[in-house]
Structure 1
Amino acid sequence: MRPPRPLPQTLAERPFPVAKALELGISPDRLRARDLDAAIHGARMPREAGLDTRCLALLLVCRSDAVICGPTAALLHGLPMPMRFAAATPLHVAVPPHAPAVRRAGVVGHRLSIDEEDVTIVREIVLTRLARTWCDLAACLTVPELVAAADSALRSRSTDADALRTAVEAYPDFRRRQMLRTALELADAASESPKESELRAIVILAGLPHPEANVVIRRHDGRVVARVDLLFRSYGEVLEYHGDYHRTDQRQWRRDRTREAELESLGYHVMEVTEHDLRRPHELVGRIARNLARRGWTGTVTHARGNGASHRR
């Protein structure tokens, strides 16, 4: 099979509107060639295009005041998103409230009030600024997931707590402000992973004692035994989040067992937490509470709203 005829330099390796290509004399047959992706109606882009290119293609065929928003903007800003958003499909785009929402295959259209100062450009893509993007995520994330996103942004210094707080208080959807305030109160730049952030938020929202994050535990002779994810120091209870690699990597699995044995020899109890546990926060909290109660905790679990999977979409 003959390779497709090369496109003009002005169209090569970038998304372009179909109308512009037709004006340049490109035939409809050439625009249907296998080297071009037609996923965005009215535009073409190279096959297997990444998120940036797909967003640029979408904006080419939208109103001039359209902006990438929500989960798509979060991914462009580098915020950690749950696996259900990892494929970056569909794309989220917003237009002003007076305009008709974008309706296209593979696209979620929004009508949002967005101030000019809440819009920025990243790698040529017009999108909501990070602080506004984080606020918009309240429509599709749980409070613990919002905490994970805020922790990451604060840790990378992409924004600061004051900017997030200002964005929350100015957010036009007043129904979600309390959810955002709660998440911001729990945010901590010291957190080192999104799942650790989610776990910490679940624990605190449930009314359990506030754990310390990333604590170094030493033997009596000063030798470092471990750096644990979360520690309830008064109760000697350790929480460790384990991703799949802790199970599939045999060397890591052996190190984990040795590390756990060392910690327990010093009087600590280690509880491993997985993604499966985070999806069932009430059950997870119950187990943690029972372990703490065995070691003297006499508090009460509250199971705060927004602490679980019911807010996931």
Structure 2
Amino acid sequence: MGEIEGPFPGSWAVRSGRVSAWELRKDYERVHPDVYVRKGLRLDARGRAEAVGHWAKGSGILVGFSAAAMHGALWLDDKPAEIALPTRARPPRQVLVYRDAIPGDEVCTIGGLRCTTPARTAFDLARRLDFNEAVEVVDALCNAARLGTREIHQVSNRHPRARGVTNLRRVLPHVDRGAESLQETRTRLLLCQAGFPAPETQIRVTGPDGMVLARLDMGWRKWQVAVEYDGAQHWTDRHQRAWDIDRAAALESLGWSVVRVSAALLTNRPHIITTRTRHALRRHGADF
């Protein structure tokens, strides 16, 4: 009947005739009690969320990292699965269990599994995580779910005495759903923590003909200075590199200066990024 994709309850699969008991033992491996995946399948964050949801057999609500993964947030593959349960239970390995009381209107269903809504998920993550990680993860969630901070504030207003709301109030002003990668968020945080005004993200620049010439990662329209994170493909793909050179020349002709950021600079020499950005802004008339 064909292989089952993703995690599934073994007892259900056998009972429904999707697989035989022999096929279950031969072709699949157990990841949690009565939860199986095809042998050799490496679960990403969403797969791990689905696995723990099946382990709870409908009694749990996926929260935190797992809920974010269900809503499409990326860059979570190194995070633990998280679930809220109504009663105490011994969790499987690499699973965090909470006993939160979650209102019904802060819960939704995706793929047959219950999870917190995007706004409630962001509320939980921003309360529980350290500042930088919270901004990174909530940025990714907001980008995937097209979520604004207004909706997160609305959830916060319903739970004014929740643990960690002080942390949430520090995090939310720095959240920007325009971030399209983890490194973009880290670059933006570096600039903000160095004292620069918060940059605008995903800036559309049009040419003289009105056509969009470029979409810049972040920057300041007032001074026509942009900061862009270049992933590996910008350095190793010759076609991408050629396009980058032409694009840079076109932006320069319109008066823009672009500060380029690499993984090596961001990790090992962040002061170079802030210095270059400050010099570019001052050349364009910024006086801070």
From 258, 263, 282, the counterpart of 2:251: 263
> Per-residue CA shift, 1:49-91, capped at 9, x if unaligned?
86666545433443753222211211111123x3xx236x642
Deviation at 1:222, TM superposition (A): 6.7
CA deviation profile, 1:200-247 (whole Å, cap 9, x unmatched): 45434543134344131536x878654433332343422122222212
TM-score, scaled relative to structure 2 = 0.74
Amino acid at match of 2:114: V
Q: 1:120: Cα distance to partner? A: 1.9
Report what 2:99 is aligned to. 111
Displacement after TM superposition at 1:198 (Å): 5.0
Partner amino acid, structure 1, of 2:81: L
In the superposition, relative to structure 1, how do residues 154 and 67 fare at CA in structure 2: closer, same or farther (>3 Å)? closer
Q: Specify the SS of the correspondent of 2:59.
A: coil
Alignment-mate amino acid for residue 40 of structure 1: H
Give the aligned length: 277
Aligned to 1:35: 27
Match of 1:59 in 2: 53
The one of 168, 178, 181 aligned to 1:180:
168
Q: How does 1:1-313 map to 2 (within 5 A)?
A: 15-17=8-10, 30=22, 33-47=25-39, 48=41, 55-62=49-56, 65-80=59-74, 82=75, 85-86=76-77, 90-96=80-86, 99-138=87-126, 139-140=128-129, 142-146=133-137, 148-149=139-140, 151-153=142-144, 155=146, 159-171=147-159, 174=162, 176-187=164-175, 191=178, 193-194=180-181, 195-196=183-184, 198-213=186-201, 214-218=203-207, 226-279=214-267, 283=271, 284-299=273-288
Among the aligned pairs, what percent are the same residue?
A: 26
Letter in 1 for 2:8: P
Cα distance in 1, alignment partners of residues 229 and 240 from structure 2? 13
Alignment deviations for residues 18-49 of structure 1 (CA, whole Å, 9 cap, x no partner): 59969x9x998x37723122111343344438
The aligned amino acid for 2:83 is V
> What displacement does 1:291 show?
3.6
Asked which structure has the greater CA Rg, the reply is: 1
Please say if residues 148 and 198 of structure 1, whose CA atoms lie closer than 8 Å, have aligned partners that are also in contact.
Answer: no
Structure 1 length as normaliser, TM-score? Answer: 0.69
- CA distance in 1 between counterparts of 2:4 and 2:241 reads 48
* Structure 2 residue identity aligned to 1:15: F
Amino acid at match of 1:41: P
**Unaligned segments of structure 1, at least 5 residues:** 1-5, 300-313
- State the shift of 1:294 in Å: 4.9
Contact 1:45 1:53 in 2 (8 A): no
User: Which structure's relative contact order is higher, taking Cα pairs within 8 Å and 6+ residues apart?
Assistant: 1
